[in-house]
Amino acid sequence: MCGIVGYVGNQPAEGVLLNGLKRLEYRGYDSSGIATLDDKEQPHLVRAVGKIAELEKALIKTPLTGNMGIGHTRWATHGGVTVENAHPHHVENVFLVHNGIIENFKDIKAFLKKQKFNSDTDSEVLAALINHYYKNGTKLEDAVAKALKKVRGTYGIAVFSPLEPGKIVTARLGSPLVIGLGNGETIIASDASALLGYTRKAIYLNDGEMAVCTADKVNVFDLSLKVVDNSPEEIEGDASQIQKGGYDHFLLKEIMEQPTTLLNTLSGRVDAKKGTLRLGGPNLTPSEINKIEHVVIVGCGTAYYAGLLASYYMEQLVPNLTTEVVVASEYRYRSFHLPKNSVALVVSQSGETADTLACLREIKKRGVKTFGIVNVVGSTIAREVDGGTYIYAGPEMSVASTKAFTAQAVAMLIFAGMLAGHRGGDPAKLHQLAEELVALPDEIAKVLKKHQGQIEKLAKKYAKYEDAFFLGRDTAYPIALEGALKLKEISYIHAEGYASGELKHGPIALVDETFFEVFSILDNWLFEKSIGGLQEVRARGGRAIVFTDSKREIEADDVVRIDTDIKMITPLLINVLQQLFAYYVAVKRGNDVDQPRNLAKSVTVE
Ligand code: F6R
C-alpha cells in the first residue's frame, strides 16, 4: 500500500521518480508527489491529488530539477485525500516519504509540543520527530535512527535533507523497501518492479534495518547504527512484464496470459506420464511428509479462496489428513491451537500482506513449520517462511488478482499431489491430477479463445444489474466466492458468493427479478442437487447464468458450456471465464478496471 521511490545519481531525478511512481501506482492512487534537490542545494516539491497523471500535469507546469529526490503515491490511511496530506512531507530541512502507520503519532505530537503541522497525517509527525533530532550538525542517519527508536507502528521511509546533498536515508519495519544498485546511481523503491530496466542488483532491507544511500554506495545499519551485512541479490523479471503489451488493461492481459504463466508454475514439478507431483521448496523428507497430520492454509481475499479450493482437493487426495483454511486478518488475533505435526501454507501474491505476515509470525511462534506459496520474489513472506515455493506468475499489475489465483491453486494442488504420492493416495487419481494439470495451460487457452466473445455479450446483458449471487457446490463453491469477489471489486455490483446448499438457509429471501445468479455446475455426483438450487432461484424470478462442463440439458437464461477433457480441476477453467465476465462488466460500466476505487494492491497495513 502506497508506493515509494527515491533516486540519487547522474540523471535528472524527476523522470526516474515519475517513471517509478507510474509502475507503483497500483499500490495506491489517491494522491502523489515528488521532492528533488537541485545542484544549488535547493529543494523543490510538487504534489497533486488524484492519479499520477495529475502529478504529471503539475510537473509540466512546474518542472523539478536536480539529480536526487524522493516520490510517493498514496493510499490514504490517516487524513483525507488532499494536497497537504500527500507526500513528500517536509518539516524544515527534513523531506520524507512514508509507507505504513505510526501508531503512537498522538504521543509524538504531544512530545513535540510547539511544532505546527500542515497535514493530518502520521507521516508528517514522523518528519517532525526526525527534524527534532536533526539539530546542531547531527547527521541525518543519526536523527532518523533516534526518531525511529521512539516510533511504534510500521514504516518504510526515504528521507533527504538539503543540508546533506547526495544522500538519502531509508529504513523499514513492516513495510518493504528495496535498494537498486546502478552504475553511479541508486534507486530506492517499495517494490522491485520500479527498478526493472535500471538495474538487476538490489539490496532488500530487512525489518529493523536502515540504509544510507549515495550515488555510488549503500551502507546498511541497524537502528544502533551498527553495520549490518546485507548482500545484494539479483532481481528477476524484465520491464516488458510490467507493460500492457497491446491490451487495453493489465487485467485483460493478466487473464489472457494465464496459459503462459501456468507453464512457469508447473515447470519441472509435474510428470503426467509417471503421475508424480513435486514441489522442491518445502524441503520435506518422505518421513516428514508421512508425519503431517494437519494442514492449515492462511491467506486474505483471493489467496484465501485459492487455499479453500486447494483444501477440497487435499481432502480428496491425501489419506488421513485434516485441513483448515483461515482468513489471516481473523486468525492472527485468535487463540488458535494447532495439532501436533501441523504444517502451514502461507499464501500471498505480494508476499507483503500485513495480516498474512502477522499470521506467519504467530504460527512460527507455536513451533509449526511454514511454507510460502508466494508470487513476488524476495518479498517479506518469502523470506520469513521456513520453506516454500514461488508460483512464478510474473508481476501482477492489476489490483484485482487473476493469474495469481490460478497459479496459487495449482501450486497447492501440486503440494497436495506430493503429499498424496508419499502417503498412499489413490494412484489413479494422482495420474489424473498430473495429466489435467499438465493439460491445463492449453485448456485455459482453448476456453478463453472459444468463449471470449460470448462472455463479452453476456457481460453487456448483465452489466445493468446491481446485485448478484455466485453459487456452487463442492469444488465449485470456492470458485463462486472468488467470482463474486472479482465482480464486486471491479464492477462495484453487489455480489455475494454462497454454497448453493446454503441458499435456502436465508439468502434466497433476496432473490427476485432484480438479482442475477451465476451458477457453476459441475458434471459430477452433485449435478442434480445443483440443478435443484438453480430451479429454486428461477422459480422466484431470478435470472441465471450457468457455467458448466456438462452436456446434459440445463434450463437457464444463459448457459456457457465448456467443452473439455478435464474433469477434476474444471473449476479453474470456469474461474477464468468468471474473471473475463467481471472484466467486461466493469468495462461496460465505464470503471477503472486496473485501479478500482478504494482498493490498492499489496495491503501492507492492517
Ligand atoms: C482480490 C485481491 C485481494 C488479494 C488479497 C491478498 O482480487 O487482489 O483480495 O488477494 O489482498 O493479497 P496477497 O495475495 O498479496 O496477500
What CATH number is attached to the domain comprising 254? 3.40.50.10490
If you average pLDDT over residues 578-599, what whole number do you get? Answer: 96
Is the pLDDT confidence value at 1 over 80? no
Looking at the DSSP bridge assignments, the partners of residue 495 are: 468
Distance CA 592, CA 570 (A): 30
Judge contact between 351 and 375, C-beta under 8 A: yes
Chain mean position to CA 13: 28
If you average pLDDT over residues 480-494, what whole number do you get? Answer: 98
- DSSP 8-state secondary structure symbol assigned to residue 11: S
Ligand 1 and 605: CB distance under 6 A = no
Ligand 1 and 300: CB distance under 6 A = yes
Q: What does the pLDDT read at residue 128?
A: 98
State in Å: Cα 297 to ligand 1 middle.
15
pLDDT digits (tens, 9 = 90+) for 325-336: 999 999 999 999
Is residue 201 packed enough to be buried (19+ CB in 10 Å), middle (13-18) or exposed (0-12)? middle
User: Does 437 reside within a domain?
Assistant: no
State in Å: Cα 88 to ligand 1 middle.
27
Tell me if residue 547 falls in helix, strand or coil.
strand
Q: Are 256 and 146 contained in the same domain? A: no
State in Å: Cα 404 to ligand 1 middle.
9
Q: What does the pLDDT read at residue 236?
A: 80
If you average pLDDT over residues 470-482, what whole number do you get? Answer: 98
Q: Are 491 and 417 contained in the same domain? A: no
Tell me if residue 573 falls in helix, strand or coil.
helix
Judge contact between 338 and 366, C-beta under 8 A: yes
Q: Are 261 and 214 contained in the same domain? A: no
Minimum CA distance residue for ligand 1 atom 16: 348
State in Å: Cα 24 to ligand 1 middle.
16
Instruction: Mean pLDDT check: name the lowest of 75-79, 130-134, 198-202, 582-586.
Output: 75-79
At a CB cut-off of 8 Å and minimum separation 6, what does 415 contact? 279, 282, 310, 314, 345, 371, 373, 389
User: Does 430 reside within a domain?
Assistant: no
Q: Which of 1, 191, 345, 349 to mutate to test the pocket of ligand 1 (most atoms within 8 A of CB)?
A: 349
Ligand 1 and 356: CB distance under 6 A = yes
pLDDT digits (tens, 9 = 90+) for 314-357: 999 999 999 999 999 999 999 999 998 999 999 999 999 999 99
In the chain, the number of structural domains is: 3
β-pairing, 342-348 vs 369-374, is parallel
If you average pLDDT over residues 193-206, what whole number do you get? Answer: 92
Q: Which of 27, 190, 254, 302 to mutate to test the pocket of ligand 1 (most atoms within 8 A of CB)?
A: 302
Q: Are 365 and 330 contained in the same domain? A: yes
Give the C-alpha distances (Å, rounded to integers) separating 482 from 460, 468, 504, 582: 21, 13, 21, 11
Looking at the DSSP bridge assignments, the partners of residue 31 are: 49, 74
State in Å: Cα 396 to ligand 1 middle.
11
Q: Which atom of ligand 1 is nearest to the CA of 301?
A: 9
pTM, two decimals, is 0.89
β-pairing, 209-213 vs 218-222, is antiparallel
Q: Which atom of ligand 1 is nearest to the CA of 399?
A: 8
State in Å: Cα 301 to ligand 1 middle.
5
pLDDT digits (tens, 9 = 90+) for 493-506: 999 999 999 999 99
Q: Which of 1, 489, 491, 603 to mutate to test the pocket of ligand 1 (most atoms within 8 A of CB)?
A: 603
H or E element in which residue 474 lies? none
Q: Are 341 and 222 contained in the same domain? A: no
State in Å: Cα 571 to ligand 1 middle.
19
If you average pLDDT over residues 382-395, what whole number do you get? Answer: 93
Q: Which atom of ligand 1 is nearest to the CA of 486?
A: 7
Ligand 1 and 348: CB distance under 6 A = yes
Ligand 1 and 301: CB distance under 6 A = yes
Range of the domain at 543: 442-593
Q: What does the pLDDT read at residue 26?
A: 80
Is the pLDDT confidence value at 239 over 80? no
pLDDT band at 606 (very low <50, low <70, confident <90, very high): confident
Judge contact between 196 and 73, C-beta under 8 A: no
Boundary (domain end) residue, out of 425, 457, 491: 425
Q: Are 173 and 34 contained in the same domain? A: yes
Judge contact between 100 and 153, C-beta under 8 A: yes
Distance CA 371, CA 360 (A): 9
pLDDT band at 480 (very low <50, low <70, confident <90, very high): very high
Ligand 1 and 48: CB distance under 6 A = no
Q: Are 200 and 255 contained in the same domain? A: no
Q: Which three cell numbers stand for residue 370?
A: 511454514
Distance CA 315, CA 276 (A): 18
Q: Are 228 and 202 contained in the same domain? A: yes
Is the pLDDT confidence value at 313 over 80? yes
Q: Are 456 and 504 contained in the same domain? A: yes
Q: Please report, rounded to a whole number, the percentage of residues in the chain having pLDDT higher than 70.
A: 100
Cell 448457459 found at: 559
Q: Are 191 and 43 contained in the same domain? A: yes
User: Does 566 reside within a domain?
Assistant: yes
CATH number at residue 137: 3.60.20.10
Q: What does the pLDDT read at residue 465?
A: 97
Q: Which of 304, 350, 359, 605 to mutate to test the pocket of ligand 1 (most atoms within 8 A of CB)?
A: 350
Q: Which atom of ligand 1 is nearest to the CA of 381?
A: 16
User: Does 261 reside within a domain?
Assistant: yes
Q: Are 315 and 169 contained in the same domain? A: no
Give the C-alpha distances (Å, rounded to integers) separating 571 from 420, 482, 514, 528, 580: 21, 11, 27, 17, 14
Is the pLDDT confidence value at 602 over 80? no
User: Does 432 reside within a domain?
Assistant: no
Ligand 1 and 400: CB distance under 6 A = yes
User: Does 169 reside within a domain?
Assistant: yes
β-pairing, 543-548 vs 515-521, is parallel
Q: Which atom of ligand 1 is nearest to the CA of 401?
A: 7
Ligand 1 and 373: CB distance under 6 A = no
Q: Which of 1, 304, 353 to mutate to test the pocket of ligand 1 (most atoms within 8 A of CB)?
A: 353
Is the pLDDT confidence value at 243 over 90? no
Distance CA 133, CA 124 (A): 15
User: Does 599 reside within a domain?
Assistant: no
pLDDT digits (tens, 9 = 90+) for 147-190: 999 999 999 999 999 999 999 999 999 889 999 999 999 999 99
Q: State the catalytic residues.
A: 2, 601
The chain-wide mean pLDDT, for the chain, equals 95
Q: What does the pLDDT read at residue 182?
A: 95
State in Å: Cα 497 to ligand 1 middle.
17
Ligand 1 and 398: CB distance under 6 A = no
Judge contact between 352 and 379, C-beta under 8 A: yes
If you average pLDDT over residues 195-210, what whole number do you get? Answer: 94
User: Does 431 reside within a domain?
Assistant: no
Boundary (domain end) residue, out of 179, 214, 242: 242
pLDDT digits (tens, 9 = 90+) for 425-444: 999 999 999 999 999 999 99
Distance CA 74, CA 89 (A): 12
Start-to-end Cα distance in the chain: 10
pLDDT band at 598 (very low <50, low <70, confident <90, very high): confident
Is the dihedral angle over the CA atoms 568, 572, 574, 575 positive or is it negative? Answer: positive
pLDDT digits (tens, 9 = 90+) for 523-580: 999 999 999 999 999 999 899 999 999 999 999 999 999 999 999 999 999 999 999 9
Minimum CA distance residue for ligand 1 atom 6: 300
β-pairing, 94-99 vs 155-160, is antiparallel
Boundary (domain end) residue, out of 221, 242, 263: 242
State in Å: Cα 601 to ligand 1 middle.
7
Q: Are 396 and 499 contained in the same domain? A: no
Distance CA 178, CA 171 (A): 10
